[in-house]
Amino acid sequence: MPKTAAAKKPTSESAALQLQPGAAAPDFDLPASNAALRADGGGKNITLGDFKGRKLLIYFYPKDDTPGCTKQACSLSENISALNKLSMAVVGVSKDSVKSHDKFVEKFGLKFPLLSDKDGDMCERYGVWGEKKFMGKPYMGITRSCFLVDEKGKLIAAKYGVKPEEQVEWATAAAK
C-alpha cells in the first residue's frame, strides 16, 4: 500500500473515507473514563498531543460490555505490557458515555483509558462511522478499526474491520 497523506473512498459501505499511512492523525480532545484516569493520575480529557514521543494505538469499537468489544478490550489489556515495551500507549474510542466507560473499565480491569466520542466527530474524521447491516437491515454504527500513530502524530498503519482476536498481533507487527 503506498504511503500517501490522502484519504480514499472506502471499499466497504461502512465508512465515508479511509485514512492512509503517512497522513497526519486527526487530532482529538475527548473525555476519558475516570476509572482509568484515576489509576494514571490524569485529568478529564485526553488529546492526541498527550502521546507525543510515544506510539499510540487508537482502536474504535461499537459498544461497551458486549461480547466482541469485551474480547477486544480484554485482549489489549492483557497484552498492555508487551505493547508498552514497544513504546505504545492504547486508547479505545466509542460513542458510549464516560459513565458507561467507567463501568466497563472497572468491570474488566482495563489498563488504558476509553474515550467518549458522544457526538461522533472523531469517528467521522477517522472514517469509522457509517452504514452497517445486521440480518439484512441497515443501521449506522462504528466499524471496529485500529490506527497506529507514530511519535510525531503521523499514521503508521490503519486497519478497518479488524477482528478482536487479531488486533494485538496487527499492532505489534505494524509497530516494528
Sign of the Cα torsion 48, 54, 60, 66 reads negative
Residue 69 falls in the annotated catalytic set: yes
Sign of the Cα torsion 99, 87, 1, 167 reads negative
Instruction: Cell numbers for 122, please give them.
Output: 472523531
**One-letter amino acid of 92:** G
Query: Which of 135, 167, 141, 146 is CA-nearest to residue 71?
Result: 167
Burial code (b: 16+ CB inside 10 Å, e: under 16) for 100-122 equals bbbbbbeeeebbbbbbbbeeeeb
* Active-site residue identified among 69, 74, 123, 146: 69
- Residue 159's DSSP bridge partners are 146
Give the active site residues: 69
